[in-house]
Structure 1
Amino acid sequence: MAAEESNNPPPPPATLPLYPDMIMSAIEALNDPNGSNKSAISRQIEATYGELPAAHTTLLSHHLNKMKQGGQLVMLKNNYMKPDPNAPPRRGRGRPPKPKSSLPTDAVASPPRPRGRPPKARDPSAPPSEAKNKAVSSGRPRGRPPKKAKVEGEGGVTPATVPGRGRGRPPKVKPDVAAPAPVEC
C-alpha cells in the first residue's frame, strides 16, 4: 500500500491568478454601487478560489494599497471601487507647476539670469578707467582691528600676571572647626 501511494504523484497545486486580477473580479462580482470593503472582497475571493495561501490577508491588504496608490482602485469611506472613467485625473501633492508659455518659432530664448547680486550702476559719463580706480574709503582698513598687546605699566599689574590666581571661580572657604569654648562658672 505504501508503495502504491508513493508511485502516484501528488496532484498539481491549483495555480491562482494574480491578486490584482482576483481583486478586480471580486469587485465586479459584488457589484456594489458604494464599493466593497476588504472583508467582503476577501470572502468573495475565498468563495471563488477555495484554497488560498496562509498569508492571504496580508497579500490582500498589500495589493489593495498598491492598487489604490496606482490609481486602479478608489477608496471612499473604507470601501474600494473602480475609478470613474469620466472623473478628472487625481492631482498629486504640493503646489502645481506654473504653466509654461510657448515661444514663437522665430524667437530666441534669452539666457537665464546669472546668480548673485547684480553690479552697481556706473556713471555713463565717467571714463571706464576712473570708475575702476575710484574707491570710496573712510581712511580705515577693512575688518576688525587687531587686539592690542598688553604691556606691564609702571604701577599696574595686568590680570594675566597676578600670581596664585588660576582660571575659573575660586573655591569656597571652609571655616575652621574650633574646639568648644570653655564655659565660665
Structure 2
Amino acid sequence: MATDEVNKPSSLPSYPQLIIDAIEALNDKNGSNKTSISKYIESKYGDLPAAHTNLLSHHLNRMKETGELIFLKNNYTKAGSNAPPRRGRGRPPKPKVPLPPGAILSPARPRGRPPKDPNAPPRSLKPKVASGTGKPRGRPRKMARPEGGIGGSSTTVMAAAVRPRGRPPKVKALALTEVSVEH
C-alpha cells in the first residue's frame, strides 16, 4: 500500500491550494460551502483519494484556524487584506506592559489554597474572645414550670404532663350515641 502512494504521480496539488482555487473559481460573494467546494474539486480532478471528505474537512478547519479562510454563515471566503484580524473566543487578553530593564521578577504564586503550617499550634489552644455582652451564644435553655403556677391548678399541669404527644385519637361514635340515648 505504501509503495502505491510512492509510485503514484502527484498531479494533484495540495489541499489548501485546491480549496483556494475552488473558492476563486466559484466566485460567490457570500463565499462557498464545503459541499460546493468538494463538488468543484471532484469535477476538476476526477482521481481523488478515498479519504477526500475527511482531508477536505481537516484542511478547511486548519485554514480557518490559521486565518487563511474566513468562516461566516456556513460559508468559507478568502481572507482579504481589509479583513479584520482573527480573534479567538472569549475576552481578549489585557495588553502587556513592558518591564523596565533590570527589573527582577518574583516567582508566581501557585494556584489554590496554601498548605497548613505543620508547626502552627492547634486552634483549641488559642484563647477564646468574649463577645462583649457576657451572655452565652445561642438560644437559652427551656426552664421547667413550677406546679400550680400562673393561671392554672395543679391538676391541669399534671394532665398536660401525662398526655401523650401527637394528635389525640378519634372519639368513637358508639360511645356518644349511648350517652345521648340515656339522657
User: TM-score per shorter chain, which class?
Assistant: 0.3 to 0.5
Normalised TM-score (structure 1): 0.47
- Tell me which protein shows more helix as a share of its residues: 2
